[in-house]
Amino acid sequence: MIKVLLAEDQVMVRQGLKAMIETDDEIKVIGEADNGKKAVNLCEKQLFDVAILDIRMPEMDGIEAAKILRSRYPHMKILMLTTFDDNQYVLDALKLGVSGYMLKNGDTESLIRSIKSALSGGLSLEDQVAAKVMPVLLQKEYEEERQINPTLTPRERAILKCIGEGLNNKEVAERLGLSVGTVKNQTSHILDKLELRDRTQLAIYAIRHRLV
């Protein structure tokens, strides 16, 4: 059973999202909060596989809550949720290493797919969000165009490209004809070489260096 924490300040929206999520028998919302502070407190009492955090909440917003949860519970996956497809919110969340960014008006299938993708190491962005933020990622801060790390092997570059496309380890393995274990090991080597923290940063690196 996939254990989910859902933090959303609007009760009706939270109830609707919970109902959508639990249409999948493998997923259960076992914790609910109406602000980021309560979400953080719940994580001190209960283990969750995935935290879904609304960006805008009272007392503590989703970005601040994500920052705390990423530092305290690095193995827990975090998905951000909002009605505001604002570039800066997306960039702030991605820099923290979250596993996805979804709009509240998304459908049930997309929501469930994002949860499962996060647990598989994937990165999920709603199409509307991706269309707005990708050009920013390609230009902002990186217009100086750094050379891609020359120590990466051809296989590592191929894996990095797949990660940039949002593929999880199993999908990368299938595309490149490798074992999942090899993909995991190679991904760790890439992280070390690039001095990056996680797959989200790898995906951003791949996009910024035009591998995707």
The pLDDT tens digits along the chain (212 residues) read 999 999 999 999 999 999 999 999 999 999 999 999 999 999 999 999 999 999 989 999 999 999 999 999 999 999 998 876 566 677 777 778 888 888 888 889 989 999 999 998 888 877 777 766 666 665 655 544 456 778 899 999 999 999 999 899 999 999 999 999 999 999 999 999 998 888 888 988 888 787 86
pTM for the complete prediction? Answer: 0.67
Query: How far does CA 62 lie from the centroid of its chain?
Result: 13
How confident is the model at residue 156, as a pLDDT? 94
Q: How many residues does the chain have?
A: 212
CA distances from 179 to 8, 69, 91, 170, 187 (A): 39, 31, 32, 8, 12
